[in-house]
């Protein structure tokens, strides 16, 4: 009887310890707190602060869990989003794995460096960043620096662009030229099939010393968030004005996505020399200036 009684007692203790470790302090309190683990803090200091902040029920059981896992030296410094609705084992695993608090930022295709800075609230230092900050969804640490954002976005660009480098150099072009062309395409049209045709038109114009006349270069100069430009604006004296100056602008006018980059690398040949975008987003292609002027009258004079 005494043996059975002891077994029962140990069983209850085991169940109690299990529940304290694997069940959260409060299922109802789902609100997360920002909890900091400082570099050099000991396990006992961390567990004490966790209990003090109301995130765990028992600091000793947190210590026990860490000791059982042999993870005393694996706790990582950083800021964590933690909640009383998380169990001791879940909180411990976050700190062991370094699952620090992050912010999720989505950078749409075609955004400029200025727009990215507005979205992140950071100044992005560096030369020739425009065009090479790859648009994507990113996770950054809470207190990320502008340098870290640039590093991650540039690394992403390199990862996406690298498969095409040999083909680009084999065509006698540079990545800078391709990205500049891709940025023009990105701002001008949205459909992939249209991008390839527009790419063919723009490369053909460059080859034949015909002004590119890309409206988006004008809005890049003025900073206006619109697709409409005036005749007066096409006379602005800026090297980015592709109505006034032959050839490429000095550099990219936005940060293009991979579809626009591929369109710049693989243009589609056609008999077209002109194109325009309707207010509804449809691209109208023309073979002659006369056709183009008629299209402008039909689609843009409303």
Q: What does 188-255 look like in DSSP terms, one character per residue?
A: H--SHHHHHHHHHHHHHHHHTT-----HHHHHHHH--S-S---TTGGG---TT-TTTSSS--SS-SS-
pLDDT for 229: 86
Tens-place pLDDT, residues 253-295: 999 999 999 999 999 999 999 999 888 889 999 999 999 999 8
Q: What are phi and psi of 85, to 5 degrees?
A: -80, 0
239 vs 12, higher pLDDT: 239
In this prediction, residue 9 has a pLDDT band, given cuts at 50, 70 and 90, of low
Q: Where are the domains of the chain?
A: 2-97, 102-161, 174-300
Tens-place pLDDT, residues 137-171: 999 999 899 999 999 999 999 999 999 999 999 99
- CB of 249 closer than 8 Å to CB of 177: no
302 vs 64, higher pLDDT: 64
Helix residue ranges, H only, 98-209: 113-120, 146-161, 165-170, 175-188, 192-207
Tens-place pLDDT, residues 29-75: 668 899 999 999 999 999 999 999 999 988 999 999 999 899 999 99
In this prediction, residue 22 has a pLDDT band, given cuts at 50, 70 and 90, of low
Rounded distance, CA 105 to CA 134, Å? 12
pLDDT for 8: 47
- CB of 285 closer than 8 Å to CB of 197: yes
Indicate whether 20 pLDDT > 90.
Answer: no
9 vs 111, higher pLDDT: 111
Contacts of 93 (CB under 8 A, 6+ apart): 99
Rounded distance, CA 275 to CA 208, Å? 17
DSSP 145: -
Kindly report the pTM of this predicted structure: 0.82
Into which CATH architecture does domain 2-97 fall? Answer: 2-Layer Sandwich (3.30)
In this prediction, residue 133 has a pLDDT band, given cuts at 50, 70 and 90, of very high
């Amino acid at each position: 009887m005494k043996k059975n009684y002891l077994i029962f007692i140990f069983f209850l203790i085991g169940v109690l310890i299990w529940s304290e470790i694997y069940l959260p302090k409060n299922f109802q309190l789902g609100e997360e707190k920002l909890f900091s683990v400082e570099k050099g803090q000991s396990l006992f200091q961390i567990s004490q602060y966790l209990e003090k902040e109301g995130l765990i029920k028992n600091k000793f059981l947190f210590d026990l869990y860490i000791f059982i896992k042999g993870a005393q030296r694996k706790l990582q410094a950083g800021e964590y989003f933690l909640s009383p609705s998380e169990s001791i084992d879940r909180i411990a695993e976050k700190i062991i794995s370094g699952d620090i608090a992050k912010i999720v930022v989505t950078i749409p295709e075609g955004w400029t460096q200025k727009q990215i800075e507005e979205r992140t609230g950071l100044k992005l230092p560096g030369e020739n960043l425009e065009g090479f900050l790859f648009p994507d969804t990113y996770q950054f640490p809470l207190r990320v620096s502008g340098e870290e954002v640039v590093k991650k976005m540039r690394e992403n660009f390199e990862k996406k662009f690298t498969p095409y480098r040999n083909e680009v150099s084999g065509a006698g072009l540079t990545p800078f030229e391709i990205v500049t062309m891709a940025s023009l395409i990105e701002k001008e049209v949205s459909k992939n099939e249209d991008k390839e045709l527009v790419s063919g038109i723009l490369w053909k114009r460059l080859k034949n010393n015909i002004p590119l006349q890309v409206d988006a270069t004008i809005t890049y100069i003025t900073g206006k968030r619109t697709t409409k430009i005036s005749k007066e604006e096409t006379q602005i004296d800026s090297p980015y004005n592709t109505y006034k100056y032959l050839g490429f602008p000095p550099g990219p006018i936005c940060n293009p996505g991979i579809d626009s980059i591929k369109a710049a690398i693989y243009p589609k040949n056609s008999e077209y020399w002109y194109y325009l975008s309707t207010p509804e987003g449809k691209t109208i292609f023309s073979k002659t200036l006369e056709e183009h002027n008629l299209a402008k009258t039909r689609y843009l004079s409303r």
